[in-house]
Structure formats: structure tokens, C-alpha cells
Amino acid sequence: MVAKGKTYGKKKGRDLASIFHDLSLSPAKPATNGITQILAPTSNIDNEPPPELIVAPEGEQAVETADQDDNKENRPRRKAWLGKQPEERTVKKDQTPTEISQLTSLDFVANDVISFRKFCKGWEKNVKLSKIGQGGFATVLKMELKNESDQYSVWKLMPLKPSKGSGSRPCCNQTFIKDAATEVKMLFAMSDIDGFVQFRSAHVVKGSVPDQIVKADEEWVKNLDTNDPYYGTYMTDEYPSKNQLWLLMEMTDAGQDMDKMLCAARLEKRFYSVHETSDIFWGIAEALMRGEVQAEFEHRDLHAGNVCIKKRKEPLDLTTEHCIPRLSKYEVTLIDYTQSRLTLDSGDVLATAIDESIFRQMDQDPDAQRQYDVYRDMRNLVKKKKKQRVTMGQMWNEYVPMTNVLWLNHILKELMVMTQSISGSQEELNMIVALTKLRSRLGSLSPAMSEAWKYCSARDVVCGFLVDA
């Protein structure tokens, strides 16, 4: 399996960024549930001294593609020592332009940098908190109101790394502030598109990890298998600094990631019906198609861990606007746009250069190796489309929707291995034949092939299947 400490290719526990501040934006939609109303902290207006300013390098922009690897350094992991933590003050916002203002100046991010402990004040009384996932660069938490169990949301907790000043020394897996700003912009931009996770709020906080999150982290680690890469690794060990900056992003709960579902099915020797496989695959394909049409979107890291699946209480109304009818209760959501690319209505492009180290990764596990092969095929494809005088880092700004086809092929292969006809009806057998034929066509894609290849985007995959059906 892919090592969890890597930036890319994590298949378990993945973490469940899109407007410049000078663009005209409508304000973020207010949350419709009680979570944000209870958790939203109020500004602390007092006479405390201003925080240390972290000034952004001259001319730096939030959408600049990143090719540094400084935030991916790891230090040896130790067992946590849980001592009493001092109370931290609220960090007041200063009007002087700073690096962190790349986040706090956005209309859909809270304006103030608040003490982490102050932000979490009241959680123990009102909220049931659990940790549900860990990625190389983020922790995923689930929060439920104790008095209203149907009111809950998911929070992605991302440690930030300033380019210089306090907190800029390498420490575990942190995200550069400008890259975090790009991700939250993407999350906001894609929020209203069906099949993408719905954004609720974002906050920047400062300080060491609060006690309630520490407890949730310890409980999560305790339940891990001893062979798990994260076993014995604690957040208090990784991020002890009281100067640590964090980005908290609140989203709706999209369900369980597909990788966990497939792993559970393998352990239980259980197969999915062709109806379930069809609904999951076409849910992914149609979400990508809508992203392409509305925002020239490429996911660029769409392994099974970045697809979330939730069962609806009622079957989907077949009169809804889906190109391919749904036959089960599965609802699909695409998550984690860290490596994604999209175009805003203004024409501005949001993208992050993919770290070159991923293209050199090899793994003895065949499934993991196939996933690494997708990254290499994707790079070769983008390089082939690269315009003259465009640098390797800048080439990731280009719109190459065929990368979505590469990932659809990868996903379909994983699904078909776990699929069989349940009833043995002719309808199910015909569906299996159709999906197998599609998998064969998708698998014939090579980055070196001519422009005349049939599927150049997720939209082509969906429309082509409808024509052939």
C-alpha cells in the first residue's frame, strides 16, 4: 500500500482554494445548521499588543504555482508528552498587508486570526468531536451537536507554514500559506456544483493543539492497526509550537471515502452489484463533467481516497437531471482539491505545481504502483500539451481535461475488480459487458497517442457512453 506519510497517493485516511481578494465576490452563504452558530468565535477587542507581522515577499500572489518541497520535510516521530498547556491570547488582525492576509482578506474566510484555544472554547460542552481521518498535510474532524445529533459537519485542519518569520522553520507536513489560499478558493468556487463538497466556513487560528482535539487524536491513534504508518504518531508531538498557524475549513459531511469501503469489502469477501458500481462510477464521471463545463476543472489526484460515498435514505428520483439513470441509493462527492486546477469566471487560473518527487515513486504493491503510474502518465500528457516558453512549473496551469480520463480509468479498474452480477439477470450481464468494454477503451489511452483519440475529457466519456448505449 502507499505510505501514508507521502503527499500523494495516500489511499487511506485522506483528507476529506478560489478567488483573488481584489475580485468582486458575493459573500459566502451563511451556514444552515447549528454547528457554525455555536462554534463561531467572536472577535476579542481589547488592548493586547499586535502580533508579529509576517510580511509577504514583494510581488507574491496567492495563485502562484508552488514547486518548493520545504513543507514536506519529516522529523523523527516520538510518543506524545501531554503536559499542561498555557493559555494563549487572541491574535488581533493588523491592517498592514501580511502573508496571512492572503487568507484573512478573502470574503469567505474569517477576518481575524484567533487563538486556537479561544476558538475551541465551549466545544466540550456543546460538541461531540471525533477524528475521522489523517492525511500527509491535514487532519479531518467530525463535529456533532450533543443536543442535536442530526446537526454535524466535517472540518479539515491544516497546519500552515509561513515563507519566513515565526513558524517558518520546517516542521512536519505543513502547507505554504499561498497554497492553502489557493485550496480554499477552489473549495469555495466548486461548492455549488453538484458532486463537489459544500463549503461552509474557514478560519485561521494560532497556537498549540487544544485539549479536545488532543483527546480525539489519541483515541483515533489508539484504534489503528500497529502496522499503520500513523500508529504512535500524535499531533502534540508533531506540532507543539504555540506559534503554529492553522487553517480550519468547515464542509458538509460527504460520507465515507471509497477506499475504506473497498478495503472493507475485500476483508469481508463481499462484492458490489453492477448497479452500485455503475452509480458510483457515473456519479464520479458526471461530477467531473460538470466541473469541466463550468470551471475547466481537473482533479489531478482522484484516487479512491478522494471519492466520498453516502447512502441516501430514499432512492434517487430518476427524473432528475442525470445523464445516466441511477439505480441505487449511492451519492458521490469528490473531495480534496489540493492538486486540482480550475478557471474562474474572471479567466484567472487556480493551480498548484505538482511536486516532482511523486513521479519517481515506486511501490511493490501492484495497486499502489498503478496509482503512481497514473501520476507519471498525467505529467507526460501535460508536458505534451505544454506551450513553448512555458516552464515546467507553469505547465500545470494549462487546461488538459484528459487527465480526468486517466483517473476515471483508474477508478473503474478498482471498482470492476469488486463487482459481480448479483441476480444473474440479463440486464446486469449487459451492464457488466458495457462497463468492461468502456474500461478496455479507457485503458488504451496513452499520452503519446494522437489527438483523434475518442475520449479527451470526462464529458467525452459520458457522452460517448450514451451514444454507444
- Binding site for ATP, by residue number, is 161
Question: Rounded distance, CA 228 to CA 409, Å?
Answer: 28
Whether 416 and 277 have beta carbons less than 8 Å apart is answered as: yes
Tally the residues of the chain.
Answer: 469
Own/partner contacts of 191-194, CB < 8 Å, gap of 24 or more, are 193/287, 193/290, 193/291, 193/294, 193/295, 194/287, 194/290
Question: Rounded distance, CA 459 to CA 436, Å?
Answer: 19
Binding residues: 161
Whether 333 and 197 have beta carbons less than 8 Å apart is answered as: yes
What would the grid cell of residue 383 be? Answer: 508536458
From residue 406, alpha-carbon distances to 429, 447, 461 in Å are: 26, 10, 11
DSSP state of 392: T
Question: Rounded distance, CA 185 to CA 351, Å?
Answer: 11
Residue 25, Cβ density class (10 Å: 0-12 exposed, 13-18 middle, ≥19 buried) = middle
**Three-class SS state of 148:** strand
From residue 50, alpha-carbon distances to 28, 91, 96, 110, 383 in Å are: 28, 7, 11, 18, 47
What would the grid cell of residue 168 be? Answer: 517558518
